[in-house]
Amino acid sequence: MSHVFHRSLTATYPVAMGGDGPYLIDANGKRYLDACGGAAVSCLGHADAAVIAAVQQQIATLAYAHSAFFTSEPMEQLADFLVARAPAGIDSVYFVSGGSEAVESALKMARQYFVERGQPQRRHVIARRQSYHGNTLGALATGGNAWRRQQFEPLLIGVTHVSPCYAWRDQAAYETDGDYVARLGQELEDNIAELGADNVMAFIAEPVVGATVGALPAITGYFARMRAICQRHGILLILDEVMCGMGRTGSLFACEQEAITADLICIAKGLGAGYQPIGAVMVSKDIRDTLRAGTGFFQHGHTYIGHATACAAALAVQRQIEERDLLANVRAMGGLLKERLHQRFDGHAHVGDIRGRGLFLGLELVQERASKQPFDPARRLHARIKAHAMQGGLMCYPMGGTIDGLHGDHILLAPPYIIAASHIDELVDKLGTAI
Ligand code: PMP
């Protein structure tokens, strides 16, 4: 028996031995088309020659220098690269080793920001139901997935969860409501009023919701409205772009398509594309200046901040994406994949919705299309689809269960930005067989 403490202590896993572009290869030589990048991580595919060379060179030169003593060339260059391409107002980058660390750091930065400004009571967070922000205790508290939180309560920070914004299951309300976005804005306003604006430090949201619901973008105008409400009350906006950022939706930052910026933006996954563990919080000049004018020190840190090899890997990944114009491929192949999914599944009795942006797409599974009635969560349809897909040599990311009032099984697709039309045919074919 394996001595690895896997996430599932009962399942058995194939041993991954190698990677080749959009494929992973197991110990038996079986090839799996990686149609989800793991969890929207491997955006450049596997074994990219330029990234391998950059990592090898960096390890040979300087693998690691502790950030309490040194900065490093790749860390400086990566920060410059990201800030030059960031939404307006973003001024600096705090590097960490993954998404949960990024969210945890953003929450603590927001908290310290208000302490430095003499408003220490501003510590409550408003988040959204059905969101996912990570698994460390602070990030977990903000996540809108009640069953994930339950076992670990009481959690460490005060969080109020409000409605997310996607019209699919809510279509009737959306269509008859007249102004769905205004209603959600009012809900946020009501919660702020109830908590007292002076007690609220941040509103956190994923621009396109990933892990819990399968690539659901918000309705046009929603984020601009939420941003305006936050600004009016002096509440910081934290955008969690850990999954949807770094080109996944067709623009480097997902919030570009919402025409908003934020006070803090969390990124990870596609930043290092899996070549090294890395994440970051990108912060506004106001946050940096406030912390600098106060103690001048962020009261938080990790051993591997700005890890030189991780930064070199991420820099190489981002340069590859830019030099090879891979975001154009994300948009083109994303459009083609969506079209092929519609062709294949529009007539399927149990595929209720096909959605998403760029190469960040989701399929929702239903018992019946007209009523959008989900399957009984006890059937664990998502787990069975995952098993069938793996058997057929396809990695996709099905999820399901009951997520804070939302039932349903869905499949997330997040293939690498390098895929070609032939991979899309293979993907849709294998997915059809698995479903
Ligand atoms: N935020 C979002 C939106 C995510 O999708 C994830 C990971 N699925 C996280 C945070 C946490 O990232 P990590 O698993 O790297 O800690």
Ligand 1 pocket test, pick from 96, 133, 142, 249 with the greatest ligand atom count within 8 Å of Cβ, gives 133
- Does 173 have pLDDT greater than 90? no
CATH number at residue 261: 3.40.640.10
pLDDT of residue 147: 83
Question: Which of 243, 281, 403 for a ligand 1 pocket mutation test, highest count of atoms within 8 Å of Cβ?
Answer: 243
* CATH number for 347: 3.90.1150.10
pLDDT attached to residue 386: 96
pLDDT over 90 (residue 330): yes
Assess if residue 2 is contained within a domain.
no
- Give the model confidence (pLDDT) of 266-306 as tens digits: 999 999 999 999 999 999 999 999 999 999 999 999 999 99
**Ligand 1, atom 5, residue with closest C-alpha:** 243
**Is residue 276 located within the same domain as residue 194?**
yes
Question: What pLDDT, on a 0 to 100 scale, did the predictor assign at position 70?
Answer: 97
Mean pLDDT of the region 344-359: 95
Q: Residue 279 CA: which ligand 1 atom is closest? A: 15
C-alpha triplet 241, 97, 51: angle, nearest 5°: 85
**Phi, psi dihedral angles at 398 (to 5 degrees):** -80, 145
From the CA of 370, how far away is ligand 1's center (Å)? 33
C-beta pairs of 259-263 under 8 Å, 24+ apart in sequence: 259/224, 260/87, 260/223, 260/224, 260/227, 261/87, 261/88, 261/89, 261/90, 261/227, 262/87, 262/227, 262/237, 262/238, 263/110, 263/202, 263/236, 263/237, 263/238, 263/287
CA–CA distances in Å: residue 322 to residues 82, 273, 311: 12, 14, 16
Ligand 1 centroid vs 39 CA: distance in angstroms? 9
Average model confidence (pLDDT) across the chain:
94
Residue 206 Cα: closest atom of ligand 1: 3
Work out the percent of the chain whose per-residue pLDDT is above 90. 85
Domain boundary among 306, 323, 340: 323
Closest residue to atom 14 of ligand 1, CA basis:
99
Could you tell me if 157 and 273 lie in one domain?
yes
ipTM for the complex?
0.99
Mean pLDDT, rounded, for 317-346: 98
Inside any domain, residue 3: no
Closest residue by CA, ligand 1 atom 13: 99
Considering the domain boundaries, does residue 1 fall inside one? no
Q: Indicate whether 63 and 200 sit together in one domain.
A: yes
Q: Rounded to the nearest whole angstrom, what is the distance from the C-alpha of residue 134 to the centroid of ligand 1?
A: 5
Please state whether the peptide bond connecting residue 207 to the residue before it is cis, i.e. omega within 30 degrees of 0: no
Tell whether 405 is covered by a domain: yes
Atom of ligand 1 nearest to the CA of 241: 3
CA of 139 to the centre of ligand 1 (A): 9
Has residue 121 been placed in a domain?
yes
* Residue 26 in domain: yes
Q: What's the rounded mean pLDDT across residues 331-345?
A: 98
pLDDT value at 230 more than 70: yes
- Pocket of ligand 1, beta carbon within 6 A: 39, 98-100, 103, 132-134, 206, 210-211, 240, 242-243, 268
| Element at 128 (helix H, strand E) | strand 124-128
Does residue 64 belong to any structural domain of this protein?
A: yes
Tell whether 263 and 404 lie within a shared domain.
no
Statement to judge: residues 281 and 329 lie in one domain: no
Q: Classify residue 1 as exposed, middle or buried by CB count within 10 Å of its CB (0-12, 13-18, 19+).
A: exposed
Distance in Å, CA 349 to ligand 1 centroid: 32
Predicted confidence band of residue 6 (pLDDT cuts 50, 70, 90)? confident
Q: Name the closest-CA residue to atom 12, ligand 1.
A: 99
pLDDT band at 168 (very low <50, low <70, confident <90, very high): low
pLDDT at residue 229 above 80? yes
- 371 C-alpha to ligand 1 centroid (Å): 32
| Distance of alpha carbon 122 from alpha carbon 283, whole angstroms | 18
Compute the distance between CA of residue 422 and CA of residue 220 in angstroms, rounded to an integer.
33
The answer to whether residues 103 and 192 belong to one domain is: yes
**What are the tens digits of pLDDT across the range 238-257?**
999 999 999 999 999 999 99
Q: Are residues 72 and 109 in the same domain?
A: yes
Are 126 and 27 in a shared domain? no
- Provide the pLDDT for residue 211: 86
Q: How many CB atoms lie within 10 A of CB 145?
A: 22
Domain boundary among 323, 339, 371: 323
Q: Whose CA is nearest to atom 8 of ligand 1?
A: 211
Same domain, 264 and 354: no
Q: Is residue 212 part of a domain?
A: yes
| CA of residue 294 to ligand 1 center, whole Å | 30
Mean pLDDT of 131-149: 93
Percent of all residues in the chain with a pLDDT value above 70, rounded to a whole number: 96
Q: Which domain holds residue 108?
A: 53-323
pLDDT digits (tens, 9 = 90+) for 375-387: 988 899 999 999 9
Please give the tally of structural domains in the chain. Answer: 2
- Residue 86 Cα to ligand 1 midpoint, Å, equals 20
Reported as a single tens digit per residue, the pLDDT across 89-136 is: 999 999 999 999 999 999 999 999 999 999 999 999 999 999 999 999
Question: Residue 224 is encoded by which pair of tokens?
Answer: 């601009």
- How far is the centre of ligand 1, averaged over its atoms, from the C-alpha of 235 (Å)? 23
To test ligand 1's pocket by mutation, which of 43, 101, 130, 242 has the most ligand atoms within 8 angstroms of CB?
242
Mean pLDDT over residues 72-80, rounded? 98
Q: What is the mean pLDDT of residues 22-32?
A: 98
What's the CA-to-centroid distance between 37 and ligand 1, angstroms? 13
Same domain, 74 and 214: yes
The answer on 175 and 68 residing in a single domain is yes
Model pTM score: 0.97
pLDDT of residue 169: 63
Q: Are 213 and 93 contained in the same domain?
A: yes
Last residue of a domain, one of 323, 341, 371: 323
Residue 80 has pLDDT above 90, yes or no: yes
Q: Look up residue 320 and give its two tokens.
A: 């590859």
